[in-house]
Amino acid sequence: MDEPTNDLDIATLTILEDYLDHFQGIVIIVSHDRYFLDRTVRRIFGFGEAGVLTQYEGGYTDYSLRKLWEQQEVEAANANGDFNKTANAAGKSVAGWKDNRIKKLKFTFQEQKDYETIEGDIAALEEKIEKLEAEIIKNASNSVKLNELYKEKEEAEQKLEEKMDRWMYLEDLAERIARGENA
């Protein structure tokens, strides 16, 4: 797949990500979309100096942290004047690099999408409940219609309660992210 996220809307992108999450085969993706790579890949092949291809486990964040780790190893070896170690650090993996990294707290793609739309969803549900209440008053003498309206209102109130719970979770998460907490 060459730049698969170009010109995709959020809904289509979500479908593609979900499909790739469950795809059992192998897919090669070339992309500059770092978030998409973090979300969908388990291995990155990076081209280094002189066209050397190196395999990195994990998504883009793992790759960039690994490259930073390797650069720090090279700089530390240079600072100590150990040129043999410099060559080894530049070309050899460092055991435990992934275990020692700091994992920043962040939204998942779905959480980000929900966070951006949830207040509008809540307002729409509140408006729907108000309209249903007005319809209930209008149809007070029609028991069949009244029963349908009460059921619809209960469903809307349940959805509103779920959205409110989700909103509270997302707001708390957003505050923690803003404070720079680690995962």
Domain boundaries of the chain, sorted by first residue: 109-178
Query: What is the spatial distance between Cα 183 and Cα 179, in angstroms, rounded to a whole number?
Result: 12
Per-residue pLDDT at 31? 85
Query: What is the spatial distance between Cα 68 and Cα 24, in angstroms, rounded to a whole number?
Result: 31
| pTM given for the model | 0.48
Per-residue pLDDT at 94? 45
CA atoms within 13 A on the CB side of 104: 10
Token pair 């959480």 is found at: 111
Per-residue pLDDT at 125? 95
Which amino acid does the sequence have at 71?
Q
Per-residue pLDDT at 155? 96
Per-residue pLDDT at 41? 84
Residues in Cβ contact with 16 at an 8 Å cutoff, skipping those fewer than 6 apart: 4, 5, 8
Per-residue pLDDT at 161? 95
Which residues of the chain are under the pLDDT cut of 50?
86, 90, 92-95
Per-residue pLDDT at 93? 46
68, two tokens: 């930073």
